[in-house]
Amino acid sequence: MSPTAARLAIIVAMLAAWEAGVRWFGNPLFVSPPSRVAVALLDLAGNRDVLAAVARTCLEISIAFALSTILGVGLGLLVGLHRFTRGAMYPVILLLYAVPQVTMLPLFVLVFGIGMVSKIAFGVSHGVFPILMTVAAGVQNIEPILVTSARAMGASRRQILLAVVFPHALSSFFTGMRLGMTAVLLGVLLAELYVSQAGVGYFTTMFTQTFQPQNLFALVAVLAAIAIMLNALCRWAELRFRANV
């Protein structure tokens, strides 16, 4: 059996064990077999409020990711390209990066409210650091001989940046985007679960408190699927653009 087939078989076996275990031993108030989750998935697909909540969370993730990329690349270039800004900012950035950001979550809600803005801001606070660090490292780790030879051939600073530094930093840029996406997902979902009035966090809390495990499992499955797709997309972009350079 090929490893992929074996993997699929394991997943199917786990689902079957879950189904059997829950049907025979589980309390339907707390757990739900996969078959009922699948039915609930169809139910949720027809529920306009839940669809709006999922769309809202996707929007939060996209905005947070876009902002993290812009900020992260901008600050990363600033830190990576200039010795002065690197000396001044890098230790401070490392310090901020080491802060356990979850502890700041109540603060974000206090400052940005319980709406979308606090989720986006918290997502950005997670996503910006990995992007910043990878971009800064990518810009710095260029082989000095490339820069030296470009300079020896009379390239201006601008030409060196555009023709040597940026093309070589491109793959680190995409690595940063992938790490940033993982972090943004974590930030946005954490903020959603903490407090939410119309996003997915509202529905996870509601389904938990009203003992509807089949709906809760289904919603978690949808979010996991979105996360897997976004991660796969970033990985694909990373591999593709790395191959091109």
Partner 1 sequence: MKRLVQIGFVVLLALLWQLATLGHVSPLLLPPPAAVGREFLVLLQTANFWPDLRVTLFELIAAFLIAAFTGSAIGSAVSRSSYAVRVFDPLFAGMYSIPAILLFPLYVLFFGLGPGSKIAMGATIAFFPVVLNTITGLSQVDRAYVAAARSMGASPIQMFWSVMLPAAFPVILAGLRIGLISGFLAILGGETIASFSGLGHRIVNLAESMDTARMFANIVFVMLVAWVLNAAVSFAEARGRRGIA
Only one of the segments 15-23, 129-137, 145-153, 183-191 lies at the binding site for partner 1 (rule: CB under 8 A); that segment is 183-191
The verdict on 15 binding partner 1 (CB under 8 A) reads no
Q: Return the residues of window 51-110 that contact partner 1 according to CB under 8 A.
A: 84, 87-89, 91-92, 98-100, 102-107, 109-110
38 touches partner 1 by CB under 8 A: no
Query: Are the C-beta atoms of 137 and 94 separated by less than 8 Å?
Result: no
Contact set for partner 1, span 128-167 (CB under 8 A) = none
| Closest CB to partner 1 among residues 105, 120 | 105
Assess 236 for contact with partner 1 (CB under 8 A): no
Q: How far apart are CA 119 and CA 196, in angstroms?
A: 9
Residues that bind partner 1 (CB under 8 A): 3, 6-7, 10-11, 30-31, 84, 87-89, 91-92, 98-100, 102-107, 109-111, 182, 185-186, 189-190, 193-194, 204-205, 207-208, 211, 213, 216-217, 220, 223-224, 227-228, 231
